[in-house]
Every structure is written in C-alpha cells, then in structure tokens.
Structure 1
C-alpha cells in the first residue's frame, strides 16, 4: 500500500499550476502538520487491518518549502507503519537545496526535483524563480547529501519554446544522469494565470505539431541514453521506476492524507476538502476531512484498470479483449495504428501515445 501526504505550501504561485496550494502561509506549517498527523493516525486506525506502507510520497505544493523537521514529525508518527525498505519520496524546489541534507537525514531516500526546464528563457516563460545554474547546483547538492535516487521533472510546450530548445534542455538533464526523468506537456488549466492570459490572446504556446515533435524526441533521446520508457510521461534507469506511481498504475490501494488528498481503498475513492482553513478546522473538530466518497461499480473499475494499464508501456493483458465491446473498439483502434498487440499484451503505438486520452475513451466508449 502507498501513502500520499499533501504539503500545500509554496514560495510562489506558478502560473500554470492548478493543484491545491497556498502562498505566504508558512506560519501555519506546524498547525497543518499537527492536523496531518491526526488525520493519518485516524485513517490508519479506521482500516480493517494495520497498514504497512511500501511507499510514501510527500507531494504538493512544495514539501521542501516548510522546515524539514515538520516532515520528520510526520515520518516519526508513521514509522511503525512504514516498511524497512520503503521508497520515501519528497518533491523539492531547486532553491531549497540547503535543506536537502536534512531531508536525507530524516529518512527520505528519493528526491523529485521540480526543474521544468534547463534553459533560462523557458524557466522565465514558465514563471519559475530558479535558473539553470540553480537547478544544476540543486542536483549536485542532492547527490552530496546522499541521495542515490533522484528524479527530475521537465515540462515541454513552454511559451515560445521550440523543438530545438527543448532538445537542448533535455540533453542537459540527461548529462546529469538522474535515476528518473518525467516529461509533461504544458496544459492550460482553467482558473490559472496562464488560462487567463491565453483567453486574452496574451500567451503564445507552441503549435500541436511542435509539441508532438518534442514528446517524440524526448522518447528517442531518453531511450538512447539508457532510460526505459515505462509510462507515458516517465522514464527510468534500470531498477529506478517510481514504486509509488506504480502503485497507482497497477490499481493498488493507497491512502491520501492532507489538503485535497485522494485515497483508493476497498474499491472506494475518497477526496479531502481543498480549502486549507476548512481542512484544519475539520481535523481539529472531528479528526477527518473527507469531502466526497465514490464506490466504484464493476464497470467503473474495469474502465479504470484499462486506462491505467494503457498508460504503461507494457500495456494491458489481452484478457481484456475477451469483452466483445472492447474487442470491437480494439480492432478499430488497431486499424488506425493506435494500438498494437505484442505477445500477450496490448499497448499504445508511438502514434497512439500522442492520442492516449482519446484512445482510452474510445476503447471503452460502448461499455
């Protein structure tokens, strides 16, 4: 089972981000941590059997934005439920590199650096406050702190970015030789600064053809450098695929704690409240902050397993094709060279990777 802990505090507001985060409220970090510990203990006690977490993930927000001691308090309160060989990840901002040694000392053994780009022009276009020099220094600081498992997040499709600039950015990341690299296309999310600028015609993003070229070049560059493409957006050196994310993609249970956190237990999904003050007040009053619960039907569960399976490069077992309606759609998708069969599995083709959401929805459209 995996454990996700949301740390919503950030140094600044990224113009493309629609996650649950707060800026300028770090004075609430201790109170928030107190609430997270209470919720985590209550949620664990409510399970039928005591959990043993093989992965723990501090996401955000920016977990490195609060004092490392607060994260350590959470780890200490859960230590009896964390497996000895657990993968413990913290997302981090490159400008927080002075804390990396403390994070490692507290037992975090995997660091995910939110670099986003290795050109200063793209970083400025994305509204980031670190430079390429800062990001490089942060990577080396993580290595010097003891981290042997480092992931770098990159974003393609930044305003004004060209395929050539993206290739150079990716090459700089590869030169550092991290254990894991994630590449995500910029998405203009509603209610973000980028969305408002885009709607007013004040934000120019690369055309879809250029973004497709960037994604395909990322696959080629990373595979040539020895990284396995194991999920649509994720690449890893041998033995370093994200165990926490594999829990999600393999349809395994996980507990989410903190603001807006999402859990998947006993075929049931639940979501916590998204407002910081409301979250802390509910925890302090009742010990829980779940806002919504959804019990998956057998059909919904099948749909999710298919979608999660197709995100992985190994694909789905052909057993799914025994469903007549799915088989019919598979034939249609295969004829369009969007899906392919290899041995006993079905997966997206290279062309299908570019249209993954459409392929998934079409495959299950008649269910």
Structure 2
C-alpha cells in the first residue's frame, strides 16, 4: 500500500545546464490549467487507489517555488482538499526551493501550507561555478534564503550540493562544504555531476568544450564529502545523503526501501498496487490525457517477483544499513542467499560487499563503485 506522495511541478524561472528532469520555462505556460489537471489526477488516483494513511509528501520539479503566490496557494488548497484527510500525525511534508531569491511571503505561505521540510538546490557556494552550471542564484542568495527560512520557523532543511563540476577543484569543493556547515542545516545531499542527453552540458561535451575533473579527482571529492560530513556530525545513511540523527529523509527512504508511492504530475513515475507507471511529460499531452481518461499514463509495467527482489537489492544497497536478510525473507518468503548467493559471495570477495548485523551492505570501496555492484543484481 502506497503511503508516500510525489507531486511534480515542472516550471522553472531558468533552465540549469545539467538538468534533464521534465521541466519548462515558466513564462507563458498554462500554469493554472496544469494545476487543475494535477488536481484531477490526484482525485482520480485516490479514488482508484485509496491510501490508509500518508506519511510523506514531496513537492519537486522543476522548481515548485517558481509558482506565483496565487498559484502556490491554489496548490496547497488542492493538496489539503484531496490528501489532507489521509495525513498521519508525523507527516514529513517536503518542498523543493530555489534560493534565487525566495521571498518572505513565499516562505510564510509554505509554512502556512503545512510544509515542515525544505530542500534548497544550492549546488555550490562558488559564484563562478554557479554561472557555469546555469544557476540563477548566487551564494549570498542561498545564505539569505536559508536564514530567512530558519527565522520563519523551519527546523528541517536540506541543502543539495553537486561536485565534479566543470573546472572544479578539490579545494573549491572543500570550501563549499565548509561554507555549508556554517548554515546549521539538518541534512545534506551530495551528488556527482552526471552528464545527461538533451542538456546544455551534453551538447558541450559532444563538441569537446566541457572540461570535467578526472575520475580520480571526482573520487577525491566524494571522499572529502564523506569525511567532512562525519567530522561535523552528519551520518551517512545513503550513498549520497547525510543527516543529523533523526533528520533522515523519510520520503527518499520510501524509494530506497522499495516501498510503493504515488507519483502525480507531468513526467512523474509511480509505483502503486504492484505496477510501475510513467506519466506523459509534455504539458499539452498530460492535460489532454487527464481530461480524456482521468489518468496520464503512457507506460504501465506489472513488476514481477524476480524484479521486486532485484529492486530490493540495488535500491536497498544504496542505504548504509544495507539489505536485511530477515526482512528479505518476510517480503518474498525466500532466503536472500537462495536467490543472490553467487552474486553476494563474488562481491564480498572483491571487497565491495560485507555481511554484518544480519544485513548485506556496501563496504567503503563499494560506495565508490556502487553502479558496478547494483548492475550485478539485475538479471
């Protein structure tokens, strides 16, 4: 039973050079029509697949805070009208925010709308690098927005950081981390830059005009990230995520624990009732399908037991807690070694996995070679 909801707001005030998410420049877009279609999808989805309780809501994008105040207020009315009755008492309600610049009026509206966790897409505190990657904010905007959120009462804040940026040095990345620690936030996500098709960076790379750090430099930055987070009291609970105790992202753990979730909005993915679905991405197609069918699905895949077990491995191994042997038996009525014993033994011999505390986990070396490990479990 799905107990988490992802809502996609695909509008941005500017397009970052690395982003391949489903997004659109907000000017002249049918924002209100989109929100009306979003409401219809929520209504139809909940009617067909009613939840017992909702433990997390995550509003992502795009840039959800790009919405004008009136449309932002309308979005909160939609959420509480159709989902509010299912919220449990300890719900985690996350909203992605762009720090360029985030007004006090919007922060207050987020607070009044029930949001209790903010995720800021800071990426780096180096202004030159911010320009290179196409971000519209500067480091001072990020600092001001985070302090303003804290003054407004937000006590659960995540900061996204990206490393291995074009021309970035290990010194620059360490400087960004040190500046980030001065903000007193509760959670960090740190990702290595990935060059994806249909992005500005992909086109530059094909033309030989993108200077990226070497693989060794990238590995050094990741090691710096891990070591500095630990020194400053942030526990690594997933390959790319670090939190003060008790502030781990409940919503993202839904994905890594291979649990079901609702995905609402253009281009969103969902996993409900044993079926993975993909929504139409283009706005006109999304709205048309909603008005015609009530649902915007363009792909539906019934997940087999074998696929569920594979997903349990390559998603669960992202967590530092790893994959529990007992929980695997509870979920699938099969022993993990009966299904994946050969793969596990091979990866243990390579020093990429270890078996401790009743779980199979990545070693520190395995953290650096996660994709190699994950692919081993996809048959």
What is the TM-score normalised by the length of structure 2?
Answer: 0.93
Identify if the C-alpha distance between structure 1 residues 323 and 72 changes in structure 2 by more than 3 Å, giving closer, same or farther: same
Aligned residue among 7, 20, 34 for 1:18: 20
Shift of 1:102: 1.4
Q: Say whether 1:289 aligns with 2:291.
A: no
Give the deviation of 1:160 after TM superposition. Answer: 0.5
8 Å Cα contact 2:317-2:323 kept in structure 1:
yes
Structure 2 CA distance for aligned equivalents of residues 240 and 253 of structure 1: 21
Residue 104 (structure 2) pairs with residue 90 (structure 1): no
In the alignment, what sits opposite 1:59? 60
* 3-state secondary structure, aligned to 2:345: helix
Which structure 1 residue ranges, 4+ long, deviate > 6 Å from structure 2? Answer: none
**Helix, strand or coil at the partner of 1:311:** coil
> Is 1:150 aligned with 2:157?
yes
Deviation at 1:81, TM superposition (A): 2.2
* Secondary structure, counterpart of 1:152 in structure 2: strand
**C-alpha separation between the residues in 2 aligned to 1:96 and 1:37?**
28
Which residue of 2 is the match for residue 350 of structure 1? 364
Q: Distance in 1 between matches of 2:27 and 2:263?
A: 22
Aligned partner (choices 319, 323, 328) of residue 316 of structure 1: 323
**Among 332, 335, 338, which residue is 2:346 paired with?**
332
Match of 1:170 among 177, 184, 200: 177
Residue 105 in structure 1 maps to residue 119 in structure 2: no
The aligned counterpart of 1:200 is: 207
User: Residue 82 of structure 1: CA displacement?
Assistant: 2.0
Query: What residue in structure 2 maps to residue 259 of structure 1?
Result: 266
Query: Unpaired segments of 5 or more residues in structure 1?
Result: none
Distance (whole Å) between structure 1 residues aligned to residue 282 and residue 25 of structure 2:
13
Kept in 1, the 8 Å contact 2:101–2:137? The answer is: no
Structure-1 separation of matches of 2:336 and 2:25: 50
Secondary structure of residue in 2 paired with 1:95: coil
RMSD of aligned residue pairs (Cα, Å): 1.5
Q: Unpaired segments of 5 or more residues in structure 2?
A: 329-334
Distance in 2 (CA, whole Å) between partners of 1:249 and 1:216 is 22
* Matched-pair contact (CA < 8 Å) for 2:100–2:138: no
Q: CA deviation at 1:26?
A: 5.7
Aligned residues: 364
User: Greater shift after overlay, 291-300 or 93-102?
Assistant: 93-102
- TM-score w.r.t. the length of structure 1 is 0.96
